[in-house]
Chains A and B, each alone.
Chain A
Amino acid sequence: MRRLTWFNATSLTLGFAFLYLPMLILIIYSFNESKLVTVWAGFSTKWYGELLRDEAFIDAALVTLRVAVVSSTIATVLGTMAALVLVRAGRFPGRTLFSGMIYAPLVMPEVITGLSLLLLFIGIGLDRGILTIILAHTTFSMAFVAVVVSSRLMTFDRSLEEAALDLGCSPFDAFRLVTLPIIAPAVISGWLLAFTLSLDDLVIASFTAGPSATTLPIKIWSSIRLGVSPEINALSTIMIAIVAVGVITASLVTKRASLRQQAEERAAAQQA
């Protein structure tokens, strides 16, 4: 192993400081005794307690969680189906257009996605609330799921499905018993990605949320305009923790799956 040179060590420290110092400060100040955000007055967890007693926050948190779970689940089902069609259905007219369009939400500015959804909901007379947020989040996160799952499907060996059919499976059973278990890690990390995206989202949610349902990011954003409170720091710390756990789990799942896949490919290469 090469030792870390002085220069490399400095770049590394600076880079990571740049990335994580703001969050670190936020986390530290969430344990601040004082009500004034900028003055340190000793360690305390009292703002976490305050937070738990604040019903508006708790409500927003529950809405956020519900939206995240439901929308990421629907997005995973739809995204996986879209990926199957994209990778499997050979050439059909408009295929290139279709595959381009499924990726469009990835690069589309959120403001535009949010605005167009808002117009749609108003147009069809759907009252804004938790349902509209779920629909909106499903729309943009299924594109991410489709990308993750289709990249796994590209390397999936079709002859495994043929073998399942050959042994008497119906096409649906072949998918359920062979394809799905094998691509499961990609599907799971797609779900986690969609879940985290939904948890984070402010822009699209603010277009599609209504008075009956507010998500946590919207709540934080609006209360910050009245001045930063230590409660918000505590809340943000909790959200950072949740997102971090999500991201780490997703990457662990992917890593393990890719290690196993490598082992299988090595094994397959030997037989050739």
Chain B
Amino acid sequence: MGQTVFEPWNDPDAKPLIQFKGVTKRFGDFTAIDNQTFDIYEREFFALLGPSGCGKTTMMRMLAGFEAPTEGTILLGGQDIAPIPPNKRAVNMMFQSYALFPHLSVWDNIAFGLKRDRMSKDAIAARVEEMLKLTRLTQFARRKPHQISGGQRQRVALARSLAKAPKLLLLDEPLGALDAKLRQATQFELMDIQEKTGTTFVIVTHDQEEAMTVASRVAVMDNGRIVQADTPARIYENPTTTYVADFIGDVTIVTGRATRSGEGYEVRYAEGAAPIYSAFDIDLAEGDTCHIALRPEKVAISAERPEGRRNAVQGKIIDIAYLGNLSTYHVEIAGGRMVKAQTANTRRLSRRDFTWEDTVWLSWTDTAAVLLRE
């Protein structure tokens, strides 16, 4: 389409908006953020993903100015932000707990930040109305926070943080309480806002699909570290650790020993079973222990052994999970290992090909399996 790809992290000349340099945060002797160095670029939509307690909120709070790093520095636009108090930072945050002002109406909550900027009354009113419309809260403008529902409260918090149109917006689980439809609509709104205003977003989410939809890059965190930060596609297709592979999407992980074979490696995972071949680009020594990560949708399932595929194993269907548009088959192969295979349900359920206890063939291409170092 003639459009240049937005990948400033691959451009050595690009100037990052945010730079974490060896940032560590400790609470007492507990390390919440462990020596992190990474950059976030202007106009990015940077998603933080990770299990509860891994340090996502702490990361945000350091950017907003509510926590100071124990070690290291954070630069915003090239400037150390340590001496700048939260109210002087061009950063707005949407709190995980919403932190709505209980004594103010929805309208006044949204107007709160605008009033601090000494905008004219009309300009404030116009902006608040715009935000109310965006978050579909117009009819609740006069209510107090305790008189609206949980999802509505979440939208007020979102509207309040968006209202000032800051350079950097930190959203801590902004859409968790919304239903699927509204969530999707709001995701597109956020992307739209970003297109229009060029705001940089850092967003925390527990929803991988959300991270995949909105993010320019996804950072997967574990125990105070970013394990991998990359585009959604690369995170999904080229995870660098089993943790990332396992955290994002569904995956089967098989452990074995690698031997060089042509372009790729053969991995032996069980006595007597044919090795799995993968042409994945990685450097392994002869006999290294490695893991194979296999996405269920890349595994085909068939009654007969398919022609011309190097990777084909026989197994028995143990379980079938029906997901509406998809079905996931749990198939037991040699050595009692379970492999997941997914097929699209293009036919009605009653005409399904396979059922429990059927013996089937699983197969995948040479490039389907990802190899991961121990």
Q: CB within 8 Å of A: which of B58-106?
A: 64-66, 85-87, 91-93, 95, 97-103
**How many residue-residue contacts, CB under 8 A, span A and B?**
78
- Contact: B64 with A166, CB < 8 Å? yes
Complex Cα–Cα for A263 and B103 (A): 12
- Which of B31-39, B145-153, B188-196, B204-212 lies at the binding interface? B145-153
- Contact: A159 with B99, CB < 8 Å? yes
CB of B91, distance to nearest CB on chain A (Å) = 8
- Contact: B146 with A166, CB < 8 Å? no
- Contact: B87 with A166, CB < 8 Å? yes
Complex Cα–Cα for A271 and B101 (A): 15
Residues of A within 8 A of B85 (CB): 165, 171
Q: CB within 8 Å of A: which of B93-138?
A: 93, 95, 97-103, 112-113, 116-117
Closest to A170 in B: B87
With A162-B86, A271-B154 in contact, do A167 and B92 touch (Cβ < 8 Å)? yes
- Contact: B177 with A271, CB < 8 Å? yes
- Contact: A163 with B117, CB < 8 Å? no
- Contact: B97 with A157, CB < 8 Å? yes
CB of B188, distance to nearest CB on chain A (Å) = 24
- B25: CB under 8 A from chain A? no
Q: Can you list 24 pairs linking A and B with CB atoms under 8 Å apart?
A: A157-B99, A159-B97, A160-B102, A162-B64, A162-B86, A163-B93, A163-B99, A163-B160, A164-B101, A164-B112, A165-B86, A166-B65, A166-B113, A167-B116, A168-B117, A169-B116, A171-B85, A171-B87, A173-B116, A178-B101, A260-B146, A264-B102, A264-B145, A271-B154
Complex Cα–Cα for A266 and B147 (A): 11
- Contact: A162 with B146, CB < 8 Å? no
Residues of B within 8 A of A174 (CB): 87
- Point out the residue from B99, B116, B177 that lies within 8 Å of A162, measured CB to CB: B99
Closest to B113 in A: A167
Instruction: Knowing that A170-B87, A263-B146, A264-B102 touch, tell me 6 more A-B residue pairs with CB under 8 angstroms.
Output: A160-B99, A163-B160, A165-B65, A165-B85, A165-B86, A166-B93
- A270: CB under 8 A from chain B? yes
Q: CB within 8 Å of B: which of A5-21?
A: none
- Contact: B87 with A162, CB < 8 Å? no
Range for the number of chain A residues in contact with chain B: 20 to 34
Residues of B within 8 A of A211 (CB): none
* Binary B-proximity of A167-206 (CB < 8 A = 1, otherwise 0): 1111101100110011000000000000000000000000
- A267: CB under 8 A from chain B? yes
- Contact: B146 with A267, CB < 8 Å? yes
Residues of A within 8 A of B146 (CB): 260, 263-264, 266-267
- Contact: A168 with B150, CB < 8 Å? no
Complex Cα–Cα for A24 and B164 (A): 62
- Contact: B150 with A271, CB < 8 Å? yes
Residues of B within 8 A of A270 (CB): 149-150
Closest to B86 in A: A165
**What is the predominant secondary structure among interface residues of chain A facing chain B?**
helix
Residues of A within 8 A of B112 (CB): 164, 167, 177
Residues of B within 8 A of A171 (CB): 85, 87
Residues of B within 8 A of A268 (CB): 97
CB of A177, distance to nearest CB on chain B (Å) = 8
- Contact: B97 with A167, CB < 8 Å? no
- Contact: A165 with B87, CB < 8 Å? yes
With A159-B95, A166-B64, A168-B164 in contact, do A267 and B87 touch (Cβ < 8 Å)? no
Closest to B176 in A: A271
Residue of B87, B95, B97 with highest tally of chain A CB at under 10 A: B87
Give 4 nearest A-B pairs by CB, closest first: A167-B113, A168-B116, A271-B150, A163-B99
Complex Cα–Cα for A148 and B327 (A): 61
- Contact: B95 with A182, CB < 8 Å? no
Residue of A159, A170, A171, A270 with highest tally of chain B CB at under 10 A: A159
- Contact: A163 with B101, CB < 8 Å? yes
Residues of B within 8 A of A169 (CB): 87, 116
- Contact: B150 with A166, CB < 8 Å? no
- Contact: A271 with B98, CB < 8 Å? yes
Closest to A266 in B: B146
Closest to A267 in B: B146
Complex Cα–Cα for A167 and B154 (A): 17
- Contact: B177 with A168, CB < 8 Å? no
Residues of B within 8 A of A266 (CB): 146
Residues of A within 8 A of B102 (CB): 160, 182, 264
Complex Cα–Cα for A168 and B146 (A): 24
- Contact: A162 with B95, CB < 8 Å? yes
- Contact: B160 with A167, CB < 8 Å? yes
- Contact: A160 with B64, CB < 8 Å? no
CB of B59, distance to nearest CB on chain A (Å) = 15
Complex Cα–Cα for A169 and B164 (A): 13
Residues of A within 8 A of B100 (CB): 163
